[in-house]
Amino acid sequence: MTKHFEAGSYSRRIFFHTLLCLLSATLLLLIFPKFNFTFLAPFALAPLLYVMAATRNGWQRFVYGWGAGIFYWFFLCAWIQFVLEVHGGMGRWGGWGAFLLFCILKALHLAVFSALAGPLMRTMFAVPAIAGLWTGLERTHGTFGFAWLALGNAGIDMGIPLRLAPFLGVYGLSFLFATFGAAIACVLLRYRRRYLAWLAAAPLIFFLPAIPQQTPATDRALVVQPNIDPETQWTSLSQLRAEEDLARLSSVLSAPLVIWPELPAPLYFYSDPDFHAMATQIARQHGNFLFETVAFTPDKQPLNSAVMLRSDGSEVGRYDQINLVPFGEFVPPLFSWVNRITKETSDFVPGRDVKVFPAAGHRLAVFICYESAFPDLVRQSSKAGADVLINLSNDGYFGHTEAREQHLLLARMRAVENRRFVIRSTNDGITAVIGPAGRIESKLPPYRQVAATLPYGAVAETTFYARHGDWFAWTCLALGVGLAAFNMVRSRSAK
């Protein structure tokens, strides 16, 4: 009878803890597009951390976190399945299979965090240690695969927390929200008040300078949104028509800078004489012309590149995309059986260096598509002297999903971290100019073929984050993992 009672109690506890872990995953989902309940960000980790503190077995914590992570990535990035099925030509079951494997692998980050967080939650330094561990592991997402939305991105419209971004990047906001999540868990666990003493440092944020809300936008760029169907079957005739449409849209208005987005159309500036002549003519007509093209390394490997031309048609410079899109521009080794979205005969290869283009009276730098998810890459352009940032993207592969808003959210945080205007030019939306405070200053209607002159400005001052990078996030990783390891060794020694 006693054994039966204990088994039933254990089963109920497992069920209750599983629900709490899934609650944390749900709260993390709700703070991002399509829901945008950002006020939940400080609470999101609390249920998970409550469970981790109450669970003594490390492998059990790992499984709890892994399950919550699979749930989170499945619903956050369901659009990946759509991309693989529709644009990757994998069919429904092939798309779902590849996507589920992706979720299982991505969830390992949350599994590792959960396994290490349990012992830390039972220490006096639980609050800062948990926040550091979360922030540090978050920094490794791009290093070990796929980077997307950091917890701190939820704070893009929170004036006070956002003050951290120009100093610590998005990871400063992640640390803050994780701090409150850990503190709330301590309250739920009825820990003594001294466990919360670390919160006394939080008001120091008020002493950081406010994000400047008004920055003059004295320049204009002609931004072209061609709305090209990503499933277009490219022939010589369809290629010619697309280029003619682009040239027409580029001629309806005039501006010192013309920007084309990343396109599904295969443009070959260096090997197609007709397109080369067209691009040169557009530059001569306006002044400066920025566009995306396929370039090649000396050994004929393709590069996804952005080229800037002068008013005489000569080349200012070329930026080769450094962080390529998984499945879109290359296939990760574990997914060699998955189709690439790009129609190139082989994977794109990454570029090596950021580039700054002296053009249109400013120093412009480009980051392409998925690179908006990499704070350290974008800030290097500001550090190198860029006073305006330009994001070229083709979000047509996302369909009409929340991925578009998620992608825009990343670019907005990059604007605040660097205190720069970001001109975001896309194939079919969301095309916009983002101000240095992260606000949308102007926007074109999505899913329409349109060209417009959009106002933007330049900022010469370089932020602390742009100059010094992710030292805070890496320090958090070292301290968080170090404290977790020290605490585990000490616990075993005490036994």
pLDDT of residue 334: 55
| Cα→Cα distances 439→157, 242, 387, 421, 432, Å | 8, 32, 17, 10, 10
pLDDT at residue 341, as a whole number: 54
Which pLDDT does position 332 carry in this prediction? 60
Residue 94: what pLDDT?
A: 80
**Structure tokens of 439?**
């606000």
- Using DSSP's 3-state secondary structure scheme, residue 438 falls into coil
Task: Tell me the helices (H) and strands (E) count for the chain, helix number first.
Answer: 15, 12
State the residue for tokens 């691009």: 279
Tell me what pLDDT residue 5 has: 44
List the beta strands (DSSP E) in 310-459. 315-320, 356-359, 362-368, 388-393, 422-426, 432-434, 440-443, 450-456
CA distance 476 to 366: 29
Strand, helix or coil at 69? helix
Instruction: Give the full edge-to-edge strand order of the sheet including 288-296.
Output: 315-320, 302-309, 288-296, 257-259, 219-225, 450-456
pTM (2 decimals)?
Answer: 0.92
Residue 328 identity (one-letter amino acid): G
- What pLDDT is recorded for position 345? 44
pLDDT at site 152: 98
378 in Cβ contact with 469 (< 8 Å): no
Going by their DSSP bridges, the two strands 440-443 and 315-320 should be labelled as: unpaired
pLDDT of 1 reads 46
Low pLDDT (below 70) residues in the chain: 1-8, 88-89, 327-346, 491-495
